[in-house]
Structures are given as structure tokens and as C-alpha cells.
Chain A
Amino acid sequence: MKTVYRVLAYAIAVMVAVQSAAIGYAVFAQLNWMETGGTLDAAAFDTGAPGTAAMIFHALDAGFILLLALALLVVSFFAKIPHGVRWAVIVLVCTILQIAFGVLSHLTAVMGAVHGAVALALFGVAVMAAMRARKPVVVEETVPATVA
């Protein structure tokens, strides 16, 4: 279970990086397209203008990350990792907040800035959770001689 916990936590971190990559690609694909005469509006978005597929992937992948975070929480109940449940809850809450900020960005664009910043936090807590599940490293220590 420890390994499953670690893999899930790292998978979340990797998917957050993929999310950043997708949205970065989408923005520049759209800019490049507009610079060559394309008109970007809702209809162009819906009919497959460059970058659209990456944006749709970004939205769908958010749901996948949420499922990973839920799975991490369930696994944490059985994994016997010190503070493992706590970190899984932190990852899940962070994921929910991140999705909420993404949705709210459609209402207020400035929330998009928060959404971008919270991505780093989610990446960080996912890595931290994964590190909780590392196998303990055996360190040999020299036992000091008894002092009389």
C-alpha cells in the first residue's frame, strides 16, 4: 500500500506538470494562429481552432487528477504511513480548491492568476505526500561509548 500511495502521489505531481504544459501549449498555439489571421471566438474554439484540444484536455484531466486524489485518500487509510492520511487530505483539498479556482476564473479572470499559482502548491504537496511514503533509510550510527 505504501508503494501505491507513493505512485499515486507522484502521478498527481506529474499530471499537474502535464496540465501546465497543456495550457502553455494552448495559449501559444492560439496566439500564433491569431497572428496569422485566425479569428478566435467561441465558435472557433468549438470547432477545433489550434490549441483547443489542449484546453479541452486540461479540463478533462482536472477530473482525472481529482479521481487520483480521491484514490490517494482511500489508499492512505490502509497504508500506515505516518501522517499519510493528513497529507492525502491536504492533496485532495488542494485539488478541489484548484479546480474551483479554475472554474471561478471564467467569472473573474484574476482568479486565473490564483489558479496558476495554486498549481505550484498542489505540485509541492503531492511531492511531499509521496516523500512521506519513502522506505525508511537505514542509517548506521556510531553509538558513543558510555561516559562514566
Chain B
Amino acid sequence: MASRSTRVRLVVSVVATVVVLAPLAWLWQSSLVGSSYSVMGMGTLDYGGGPVGGHGHGSTDRSITDLAADTARKADVRVDLVAEQQNLAIGGRSIAGYTLNGTSPGPTITAHQGQLIEVHLRNASVKDGITLHWHGYDVPAAMDGVAGVTQDEVPIGGEFTYRFVANQVGTYWYHSHQVSNPQVIGGLFGTLVVLPKTGKSEPVDVIATAHTYEGTKTINGAAGDLRVPADPGQRVRIRVINTDNGPIETWTDTPFRVLAIDGYEVNAPTDLTERSVTVTAGGRADLGITMPSDGRGVRVQVSKGTAVILGAQAPAAPPQPATSLDLLGYGSPTALSFDPATADRRFEYSIGRRPGFVRGLPGLWWSINGHLYPHVPMYVVQEGDIVTMHIDNHSGQVHPMHLHGHHAVVLARNGVAATGSPWWVDSLNVLDDETYDIAFVATNPGIWLDHCHHLKHAADGMVAHLMYEGVTTPYQVGGTAGNRPE
């Protein structure tokens, strides 16, 4: 028979074990999201100080599937895309990846403002299923292409048709939002360019889609430099699109202007020298260059690894400027169509990092407003609300913050007010220890992701949602459809 001291020791040991393990077990259990769940029930409702309504219930509910373009209208631009899982030839190597119509990037979709674009997608062989999200394009919610939120993933043999009116001029891109991190890394994306009704505004219009395939830097899917003919004195627009997970710098030693950011034209841009331009992950920058009259070529670096070479001659790589352009004071201000000072809702999006569990896995995870996924905010708005959001990053790393379905204007960074052209973004490079104040008008009803476009970070739980009151979705993350948006 065990002695009294042995029994006491055993009890103490068991109690000590419970003290150590019970909090961990509780944290683990609370991080589980189940095999199938609706994002509508996820997180903590945040009304941003605005009126609290019926959130997702009541007779006025609209299903996200009804928020689509005019179904009776005939398409002006029709594109058929076939997605395949296959090897890609990149820089002399064969790597596993994905194609759309046999290429990566997929075909560039070009439209003129006001046209209705219809894209018919068929999945021929992508095992995990696919969707297409129109990055930066403020499409109707049913067309946003997020698996488990706005549609089910398209399985092998499945089809889906995206329809939206090209109201925004500018440079955009599209990519899968099903298992998005590996699929985008593997090449499941393409470029969307919407020209003004009058056509191209510069005689030479260059698309430079930057992507890294297994460590190899490419432009438009080809390793090495992109050569483009351009005559002396010609005006050139280079549309730099960053499809990677990290920011890139772009620069040249010829005076240039930033014509547009994230598809939106900069008001009264001025010539720049000795400045690089940061293009955040998922972001776009249109650069304007007038070719030198003496016939010299121009080399525009798109990160250190690749370049666009304009003209017949190929100049040496210019050194990277020490300073990146501060868009906060670039160009000239113009009045906004709304007054952010009269905001109906004011949200906080505070990004941190802390130990804990996400989906049952221990680790150091990204937090939003101090909480880990799925206990993240659900920002609730009503249609027509003026909304401000204070973004604060103290997580130790840069995060390219991407709000679906809306463009926001930057009001201030680190408390310093913007003084230049209205700086409209859909993808914002938020460095560690930076704060941003942005504003937008809630004019596009739906349920929208508001997430980090470092897609690995998103897969690790750095995803919140912006939800319009009265909008519901029948789709679920997980479940039999196998929806995995990140």
C-alpha cells in the first residue's frame, strides 16, 4: 500500500500537470473552427461606433448570389479560360505549377471602360479546385471569386462564369482565391487592363507582371529582361503588377512619373529622379516615361532581378536609389467626393503577433486587434456609410493589406496627414511600426475579405471580413465543397 507521502506526491504531480496543460487545452480547443463554417458567424462583431442593426437576419436579407451584374445585358468582352495543373518552363527549368489557357500568367484581359466583361472559367485538371478573384476590381459581390464566401470552388470538370461591368479604368489582375497561396505562387493568375473609352493614353503601353517562380524572377512569365521597342520622344506607360507575396522596388535613372497606383490615376504627377517606387504585394504602379530624344534606351528595374528595356539600346542596370517615393505627398491634392471627418463608422485593424493556437496548431501567429483567427473582428457596415479604418502594425513584419470590393483613400501615415494627390489603394504596404488612416464609402454591398496579401499570412489566419448588414452567403468554408479560400 502506498504511503501517505507517496499519495500526496502523486496528487501534487497530477495537479501540477493540470495547471500546466489545462490552459493550453482550453486555448487549443477555442482555436478550432470545425470542418465547415460560415464566415458570417465568425469573429467578433464590430460596428465601429455606428448603429447596430439586425446583422444577417430579417426579411430584408439579400443573398450574396443576387449581387451580380445585369444578367440581361450582353457581354462586350468575352473570354474563355481553361485552368490546368501542369509543369511550367521557367528560365530553362521545368517546375510544377498551373496555367490558364496553357500559359502562366494567363491571357491578359483588356476592355474599355463601360464594357461588360464575361469570363467563362473551366477547371480541366486543378486538383484542389479553383476560383478567380478580380484583384482591385470593385466587382459585384457574387463575382468576387472567394471560395466559401462568394461561391463554391470550381472542381475538376466544373465551370463558373464571371460577369461585371468595367467601370474602373486602370491596371488590375486576377488570381485564384481557392488555396490561394500555393495556386498564386504556382502561376494561377493573369492581368486585367481597362482602358479609357478613348483607348490608350500613351503610344507605348507595356504590361510588366512581376512574379517569382521557385526563386526565379520573371516578367510576364519569362525569366530575364523584357525588351520593348520605343522611339525617341515617345511616351511610355509601364504597368508594373506585383503578384508576389513581398513588396518589390522599381526604378530607373531616366526621369519618370507615377501615373497611377492600384489602377487609380495620380493627380498632377511630377517628374522623379533618384527615387524608387515600392509596389506592395498585390499592388500595381503605372510608371510614365518619355523616351530620351537622343535615342538612348531606358532600363526600368523591376526589383533587382528583372528589367523592362525600352528602345533599341540596353543601358547598364542603374543603381537602386537609397530612397523610395513617399506617395503621401506626391502629386497635387483634389477634393474627395466624401468627407472622412463625418465618418459613420471608425474601425481599428491592429496587427500583432503572439504565441497561441490557430486551427489547433501551436505557433507564433498573426493577431488582429489582439486576437487570433477565428476570433478576429467582423467589421459591419450599412450601405452608404462613410468608413475610416486605423491600421496599426506592430507585428515585426510588413503586411500588404488588401480590402476586397472597395478602394480606400489614405488620409495619414503615422499621424501625418496626406498632402499630395488622393492616394487610392486596394493594397497597402504597411511596414512594421507604421500606422495608416484610410477611408472609404461603403457602396458595394457584400461580404468582403480584408486581409494580408502575403497569402501565407492570410492562410495563417490574417483574414478579417467587412460585412454589409442584411447580406448573407449560402457558402461555407470547408464542407463537402472543399472551400479553402486561402
Interface residues of A (CB under 8 A from B): 33, 38-39, 41-50, 52, 63, 66-67, 70, 73-74, 77-78, 80, 99, 103, 106-107
Contacts and interface: CB of A to CB of B under 8 A. Distances in A.
Interface string B1-43: 0000000011011101100110010000000000000000000
A43 B362 contact: no
B303 interface: yes
A63 B353 CA distance: 15
Given A41-B304, A46-B246, 6 more contacts: A39-B304, A41-B305, A43-B245, A45-B246, A47-B214, A73-B20
Contacts of B305: 39, 41
A74 B17 contact: yes
A66 B353 CA distance: 18
A38 B215 contact: yes
How many chain B residues sit at the interface, stated as a range, is 35 or more
The A contact surface, by secondary structure, is helix
Contacts of A49: 214-215
B246 A42 contact: yes
Contacts of B247: 42
Contact of B363 (A43, A63, A74, A107): A63
The B contact surface, by secondary structure, is mixed
A27 to B, nearest CB: 16
B396 interface: yes
A74 B21 contact: yes
A63 B355 CA distance: 10
Given A41-B248, A46-B244, A67 B362 contact: yes
Contacts of B9: 80
B245 A42 contact: yes
B397 A66 contact: no
Contacts of A33: 215
B433 to A, nearest CB: 9
Given A73-B20, A106-B396, A46 B432 contact: no
A107 B215 contact: no
Contacts of B14: 77
